[in-house]
Amino acid sequence: MRRFFWRGRRVLVTAGPTREHLDPVRFLSNESSGAMGWALAEAARDAGARVTLVAGPTGRPAPRGVTTVPVVSAREMLAAARRGSRTADVLIGAAAVADWRPARSARSKLKKGRAAPVLRLVPNPDILATLSREARPGALRVGFALETHRLLARAREKMRKKKLDLIVANPPAALGGERTRAWLLTTDGAVRAFAGSKKALARLILNTLERRRD
């Protein structure tokens, strides 16, 4: 990784899960640990970039030397990310954002009754699509695609729709843990398979972005 390429560049990373509360003690979420987002933020910091990490609830300590903005819900993540995205040189959407949220969140704990409550869901905003659309000209955009079927085909479609420069496709097993399997896809049609630590994958992602600017 070439430090001169990254020195002073502004990098925005979203990471971890979001929580969409049904009531004060229950929520919809997923198993994201935030490990991938942390690895990306730390790799960019080590390369000399100015990094902002917008992070859902993971329990991880904030990385040193990184501006970390804690959030809970998808809407909070979008609001925080938008504040930094318009001036960012690189946008990396590594968060596992909940696609849906309850239409209403109860202010007090829902009590058990004879009949199960009916849960009505509404879609959350597409954070990466919004950031990509609002990004400044020339900014690099990176996304992740987690799929159970037709992984590469769906990742390519997501890359096209969201106008990304690079997308990382991975299976559900990528959630949690410090190691992963993934495929890196770029707009020139190249596909690179990867298996190893998330820290190594973070460095590979940054190296791939460098080559996109060569």
* Spatial CA neighbour of 143 closest among 107, 103, 100, 185: 185
Q: Residue 4 above 80 pLDDT? A: no
* Spatial CA neighbour of 100 closest among 74, 77, 76, 82: 74
Q: Count of residues for the chain?
A: 214
Where are the strands (E) in the chain, listed by range? 10-15, 20-23, 26-28, 50-55, 67-70, 90-93, 100-102, 121-123, 140-146, 166-170, 179-186, 191-197
Q: What is the pLDDT of residues 37-63, one digit of tens each?
A: 999 999 999 999 999 999 999 999 999
Q: Are 194 and 204 in contact (CB under 8 A)?
A: yes
Please identify, in words, the CATH class of the domain defined by 3-100+120-212: alpha beta
Q: Residue 1 above 70 pLDDT? A: no
Catalytic residue annotation: 30
Residue 140 has what pLDDT?
Answer: 96
Residue 171 has what pLDDT?
Answer: 87
Beta bridge partners of 55: 15, 70
Q: What is the pLDDT of residues 48-103, one digit of tens each?
A: 999 999 999 999 999 999 999 999 999 999 999 999 898 999 999 999 999 999 99
What ranges do the domains of the chain cover? 3-100+120-212
Residue 212 has what pLDDT?
Answer: 73
